[in-house]
């Protein structure tokens, strides 16, 4: 069974405190592929520095992980008993308004780019803005250039109007790598039915999250599998995977950078709130990569058959990557 996590939010190291997912946790959970978060607010130079760090990490731990550039790479690495690392950014601030940087970052190994993060940008609107501008003229050029270069368009933190514009404008299927249906769990980061329908109709994928702030009442294995089943009924089995959003316990400086970068002086809470501002407690059943088998078990308990479980746990993502990743 291939396990794929379409969004991991934390740095990976070989030896870390027990509360932070270490490289060994991926192996212990049998995870075959993760899309990591290389950066949030970094400019082009800082983003290249981050890519270097991830490359060094993979080289230093080649017995456990390898960076993947194609869907075939993912399968080969997973079959070897290791975890394939897909390099992704939760913002395209690395472009610095330069369309030509899309190809440069694609050639450096970037395979996933989220169009906006937690604020309005020159690309389009964020899910947290009171008014969504939609995809800008520059944003439309970026979308088509990402298509050409085989960089997956991620819309997880993107405003709904900009999301719908991007789905419509993209020539290739797009992804929402770590989110849930807002019909079940009302939150600005979750997606309404019209977005899920548009994503489905254009061949896209959603990675359902277990991040505590995004699951609403669906915190237990039984309830979360209900959320999965509802999404499958809405979108179809081939459009649904897992994007955990593990793990926002990299320490408060990391969390603060993630939430506000350099754009705000006042405290920003991201998906949290003033009364719920720190790293989130886990669910108890699916808190880190070692517990991926628990997700498989809960899907079986819900009544999904062998093929359906395999699709949700990873094969859908592998098929999607095969349709969207391109080598330049």
DSSP 73-96: HHHHHHHTTSEEEEEEES--GGGT
Select from 176, 173, 171, 134 the least CA-distant residue to 156: 176
Residue 20: predicted pLDDT? 52
Contact 231, 191 (CB under 8 A): no
Residue 152: strand pairing partners: 112
**CATH for the stretch 30-324:** 3.20.20.140
Residue 262: predicted pLDDT? 85
Q: Domain ranges for the chain, please list them.
A: 30-324
Dist. CA 232–CA 246, nearest whole Å: 22
Dist. CA 189–CA 238, nearest whole Å: 22
Q: Compute mean pLDDT per 10 residues along the chain, 328 residues long, and list them.
A: 95 67 86 97 98 97 97 98 98 98 98 97 97 97 98 98 98 98 97 98 98 94 98 98 81 80 79 62 87 98 98 98 94
Select from 80, 162, 61, 85 the least CA-distant residue to 121: 162
Select from 11, 35, 1, 49 the least CA-distant residue to 325: 35
Dist. CA 259–CA 189, nearest whole Å: 13
Distance of CA 131 to the CA centre of its chain: 24
Residue 87: predicted pLDDT? 98
Residue 306: predicted pLDDT? 98
Q: In Å, what is the CA distance from 182 to each residue of 131, 166, 179, 216?
A: 18, 19, 9, 9
Structure tokens at 79: 């079959």
Structure tokens at 120: 């309005």
Residue 303: predicted pLDDT? 98
Dist. CA 91–CA 108, nearest whole Å: 16
Burial degree of 76 (CB within 10 A; 0-12, 13-18, 19+): middle
**Which residues neighbour 257 within 8 Å (Cβ) at sequence distance 6 or greater?**
40, 41
């Amino acid at each position: 069974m291939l396990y794929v996590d379409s969004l991991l939010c934390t740095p990976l190291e070989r030896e870390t405190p027990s509360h932070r997912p270490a490289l060994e946790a991926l192996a212990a959970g049998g995870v075959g592929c993760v899309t990591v978060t290389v950066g949030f607010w970094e400019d082009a130079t800082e983003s290249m520095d981050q890519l270097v760090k991830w490359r060094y990490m993979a080289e230093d731990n080649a017995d456990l992980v390898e960076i993947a550039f194609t869907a075939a790479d993912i399968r080969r690495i997973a079959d070897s008993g290791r975890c394939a690392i897909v390099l992704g950014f939760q913002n395209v601030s690395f472009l610095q308004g330069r369309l030509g940087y899309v190809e440069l970052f694609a050639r450096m190994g970037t395979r996933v780019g989220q169009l906006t993060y937690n604020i309005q940008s020159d690309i389009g609107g964020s899910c947290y803005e009171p008014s969504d501008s939609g995809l800008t003229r520059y944003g439309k050029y970026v979308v088509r250039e990402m298509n050409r270069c085989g960089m997956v368009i991620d819309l997880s933190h993107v405003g709904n109007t900009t999301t719908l514009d991007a789905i419509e404008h993209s020539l290739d299927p797009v992804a929402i790598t770590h989110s849930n249906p807002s019909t079940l769990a009302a939150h600005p980061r979750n997606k309404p039915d019209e977005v899920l329908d548009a994503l489905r109709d254009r061949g896209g994928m959603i990675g359902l999250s277990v991040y505590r702030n995004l699951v609403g009442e669906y915190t237990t294995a039984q309830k979360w599998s209900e959320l999965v089943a509802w999404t499958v009924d809405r979108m179809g089995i081939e459009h649904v995977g897992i994007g955990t959003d593990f793990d926002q316990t990299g320490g408060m400086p990391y969390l603060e950078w993630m939430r506000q970068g350099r754009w705000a002086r006042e405290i920003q809470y991201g998906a949290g709130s003033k009364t719920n501002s720190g790293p989130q407690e886990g669910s108890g059943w699916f808190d880190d990569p070692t517990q991926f088998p628990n997700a498989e078990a809960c899907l079986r308990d819900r009544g999904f058959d062998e093929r359906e479980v395999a699709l949700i746990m990873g094969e859908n993502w592998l098929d999607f990557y095969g349709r969207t990743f391109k080598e330049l």
